[in-house]
C-alpha cells in the first residue's frame, strides 16, 4: 500500500500542498472548514507525516539523545523512567545510546548526535572519560548538554548530580555513630572521578574521627565479578571489621550475600550503602542506605535540558541534589 503524502492530499482536495501543510499544523489563517476537510482526508487516506522530510526541511529533529554507559538493574532504569516522564509530555523523542564505558564509543556517539541533528543531549559519561573536550563540537553546534550523575566541573554544560564526597562522608559517619571502629570501604574503579570523590568522603570521615586507616586494610577497590568474592573474603578473614561502607547498589548486591553467608551481617558488622532504594529495600535483614534517587536525577536533568531548549541563551547551571539516610 503506497503511503499518501501531502501532495496526494492536495490533489484530492484541489488545494495547494502548502495549504495542506498549514491545515494539518493547525495554522491560524486557514479556515476551519478547510482544516476539517483536510483532516478528514488525511484520516481517510491514512496520511502520516514523513518526519525525515519535515525535520530535514525545518533543520531540527525533535530528538533528544540519551547517552549512558550501560544498563544496570538499579539506578539506570529509574533514571530512564524519570527522563521519559518528563519528555513524554513533550514532542521530543528519545534516542538512546550506550557507550559501554568506552570513551571512543562515547565520542562516536557524539558525532552521531550531530548527524541526527539532535536538539539536546543527556550524558552520563563513561568510566574512561577524563575530560569534556569531545563535547566541544556540541557546543559549537549550539546543542545543549546536561551531564547527569557522573559529571565533571564545566562552565559549558549544565550538571545534575549529588555531592559524592559529602554523601560518602555522611554514610561513613553513620557507621561511626553506631560505634564502628574498623570500617571497610568497598569501591569501584579507582581512576573514576566519582569513585575518587566517594573515597575522599569516606577517608575524610575516618580521619575526622581519628580512626586508623590504611589503603590495604580499609579499602577494597575495582572488584570485578570474578575475584570479588575472593578479595572480600580474604579481607574479612584478615581483620575483624565492625562496619562496612559500600559505594553503590551493584557492589552492595555483590557483598550482601557474602556478608550474610559468613554470618557477619547483621550481627557482627554494620552496613551502609548509597542506593537508589528500588530493590535494596526488599533485603532482609535491612541495609541502611543513603537514598540517591535515579528518578530524581532523571527528571531534574530532563527538566534542565528542556529549559535550555526553551531558552537557548540560558547559561549552564550546576544542580546538586540532596541525599537522605533511610534505615
Partner DNA sequence: ATGAAAGCGCTAACAG
Partner DNA sequence: CTGTTAGCGCTTTCAT
Contact residues: DNA, CB under 7 A: 3, 5-7, 14-22, 24-25, 28-31, 33-34, 49-50, 53-54, 56-59
Least gap, CB of 26 to DNA (angstroms): 11
Is 97 a binding residue for a copy of itself by CB under 8 A? The answer is yes
Q: Per CB under 8 A, does 288 bind a copy of itself?
A: no
Q: Angle 73-75-76 (CA atoms, 0-180°, nearest 5)?
A: 75
- Per-residue binding string, a copy of itself, 112-151, x by CB under 8 A, is x-xxxx-------------------x--xx----------
231, exposed or middle or buried, with CB in 10 Å at 0-12, 13-18, 19+? middle
The contacts of residue 74 (CB under 8 Å, 6+ apart) are 248, 249, 250, 253, 275, 276, 278, 279, 280, 294
How far the first Cα of the chain sits from its last, in Å, is 60
Q: How far apart are CA 297 and CA 159, in angstroms?
A: 10
CB 178 within 8 A of CB 243: yes
Q: Which does 107 bind (CB under 5 to 8 A by kind): DNA, a copy of itself, none?
A: none
Binds a copy of itself (CB under 8 A): choice among 3, 11, 27, 89: 3
For a copy of itself, the binding residue among 50, 208, 227, 234 (CB under 8 A) is 50
Indicate the pairing of strand 318-321 with strand 158-162. parallel
The single residue listed with the C-alpha cell 550506550 is: 98
Which residues make up the interface to a copy of itself (CB under 8 A)?
1, 3, 46, 48-53, 55-56, 61, 70-74, 76-78, 80-81, 84, 88, 93-98, 100, 111-112, 114-117, 137, 140-141, 253-254, 256-257, 260-261, 278-279, 281-284
Amino acid at each position: 500500500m503506497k503511503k499518501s503524502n501531502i501532495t496526494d492530499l492536495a490533489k484530492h482536495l484541489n488545494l495547494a500542498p502548502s495549504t495542506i501543510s498549514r491545515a494539518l499544523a493547525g495554522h491560524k489563517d486557514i479556515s476551519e472548514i478547510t482544516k476539517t476537510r483536510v483532516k478528514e482526508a488525511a484520516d481517510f487516506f491514512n496520511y502520516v507525516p514523513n518526519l525525515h522530510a519535515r525535520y530535514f526541511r525545518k533543520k531540527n529533529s525533535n530528538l533528544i539523545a540519551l547517552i549512558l554507559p550501560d544498563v544496570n538493574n538499579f539506578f539506570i532504569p529509574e533514571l530512564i523512567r524519570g527522563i521519559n516522564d518528563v519528555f513524554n509530555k513533550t514532542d521530543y523523542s528519545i534516542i538512546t545510546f550506550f557507550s559501554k564505558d568506552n570513551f571512543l564509543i562515547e565520542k562516536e556517539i557524539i558525532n552521531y548526535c550531530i548527524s541526527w541533528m539532535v536538539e539536546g543531549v543527556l550524558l552520563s559519561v563513561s568510566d574512561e572519560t577524563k575530560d569534556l573536550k569531545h563535547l566541544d563540537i556540541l557546543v559549537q553546534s549550539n546543542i545543549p548538554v546536561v551531564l547527569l550523575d557522573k559529571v565533571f566541573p564545566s562552565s559549558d554544560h549544565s550538571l545534575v548530580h549529588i555531592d559524592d564526597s559529602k554523601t560518602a562522608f555522611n554514610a561513613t559517619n553513620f557507621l561511626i555513630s553506631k560505634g564502628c571502629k574498623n570500617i571497610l570501604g568497598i569501591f569501584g574503579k579507582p581512576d573514576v572521578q566519582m569513585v575518587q570523590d566517594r573515597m575522599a568522603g569516606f577517608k575524610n570521615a575516618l580521619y575526622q574521627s581519628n580512626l586508623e586507616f590504611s589503603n590495604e586494610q580499609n579499602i577494597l577497590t575495582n572488584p570485578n565479578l570474578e575475584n570479588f568474592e575472593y578479595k572480600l573474603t580474604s579481607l574479612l578473614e584478615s581483620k575483624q571489621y565492625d562496619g562496612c561502607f559500600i559505594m553503590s547498589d551493584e557492589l552492595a548486591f555483590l557483598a550482601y550475600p557474602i556478608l550474610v553467608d559468613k554470618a557477619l551481617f547483621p550481627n557482627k558488622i554494620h552496613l551502609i550503602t548509597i542506593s537508589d532504594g528500588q530493590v535494596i529495600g526488599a533485603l532482609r535483614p535491612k541495609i541502611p542506605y543513603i537514598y540517591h534517587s535515579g528518578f530524581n536525577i532523571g527528571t531534574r536533568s530532563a527538566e534542565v535540558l528542556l529549559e535550555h531548549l526553551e531558552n537557548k541563551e540560558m547559561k549552564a547551571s550546576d544542580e546538586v541534589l540532596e541525599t537522605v539516610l533511610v534505615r
